Amino acid sequence: MNAPDPGRPEDDAAASLRRALRATAGELAPPPYPAERVRRLGRRRVRTRRALVAVPAAVAAVLAAVAIALPQWPGGEGLPAADSAGGEALGPRATPSLAPAQPAAPSARPWPSVRTVGAGEPVEIGRGQVLTLGADQVCHRDTTEPGGGVEDTCKSVSDGNQAAGSVSIQSSGALLRPLYIGPGRAARMTVEVDGEVFRAQVLTLEGNPGYAVGYAWGSGVSFDGPTPKVRVSDAEGKLLAEFP
């Protein structure tokens, strides 16, 4: 409706209509503002947007995990290998190691220090056993014979039965006794029996006696068992002799 021209008086009909419209509009009350509904709609939109963002991220994470896992299957093709019997695909199988078995190494403890003894001095080595080093022989005494008896066994180091620069091995039950003859300064001796390595305590005389003897407690040497392996080295680890 056009606004009345201020220069022309308004007719009665128009004035009456205007008053009626104003009266009707004054009786109308606006509805209350739906604040709670607006908040619910807002929260729903936020959750929807978060879900739309999270789904692609989750899919990307799954695809990355699959890409990492697939190359681990046998064959390197990214697929599990089929069972040889024609069954369903199985997971990766453990491949048996083809590396040769290694003998058990001595423990990481330090090497026993060389013990220097006097000529003719009895050295108790435990379990009723005694070693005595002389200028030309090494003697072993076993004091555990029945009835309190003793048994002496001596080996010459100068009769030439054992060549210079070599090592031999004697055994008495669990007692292992390597004997090195030669010009080297023996400091380390090991005896390997059936894959188990024992470190021997080295005994020697003062000066340069031309030999050294060792002892270790192990499983012993059987005539029917495997041949023991003996190695003799100096303090720097240089190999002086080995058997066999």
What is the tens place of the pLDDT at every residue in 3-18? 555 555 567 888 888 8
- 134-175 tens-digit pLDDT: 999 999 999 998 887 889 999 999 999 999 999 999 988 899
pLDDT for the residue numbered 203:
98
Amino acid residing at 59: V
Mean pLDDT score of the chain: 79
- 11-69 tens-digit pLDDT: 788 888 888 787 776 666 666 767 777 777 777 776 766 656 555 666 666 666 655 65
Given a cut of 90, whether residue 70 has pLDDT beyond it is no
Given a cut of 50, whether residue 89 has pLDDT beyond it is no
Given a cut of 50, whether residue 88 has pLDDT beyond it is no
Q: d(Cα 210, Cα 186) in Å, to the nearest integer? A: 10
With a CB cutoff of 8 Å and minimum separation 6, the contacts of 238 are 184
Residue 105 or 240, more confident? 240
With a CB cutoff of 8 Å and minimum separation 6, the contacts of 212 are 114, 179, 180, 186, 189, 202, 203, 204, 232
Q: d(Cα 82, Cα 61) in Å, to the nearest integer? A: 27
Highest-scoring range by mean pLDDT, 81-85, 98-102, 237-241: 237-241
Q: d(Cα 176, Cα 228) in Å, to the nearest integer? A: 10
pLDDT for the residue numbered 87:
40
- 103-140 tens-digit pLDDT: 555 556 899 999 999 999 999 999 999 999 999 999 99
Given a cut of 90, whether residue 212 has pLDDT beyond it is yes
pTM of the model: 0.56
- DSSP labels for 143-190? ---GGG--EEEEEESSSSSS-TTEEEEEEETTEEEEEEESSS---EEE
Given a cut of 50, whether residue 80 has pLDDT beyond it is no
- 170-196 tens-digit pLDDT: 988 899 999 999 999 999 999 999 899
Residue 220 or 123, more confident? 123
pLDDT for the residue numbered 45:
77
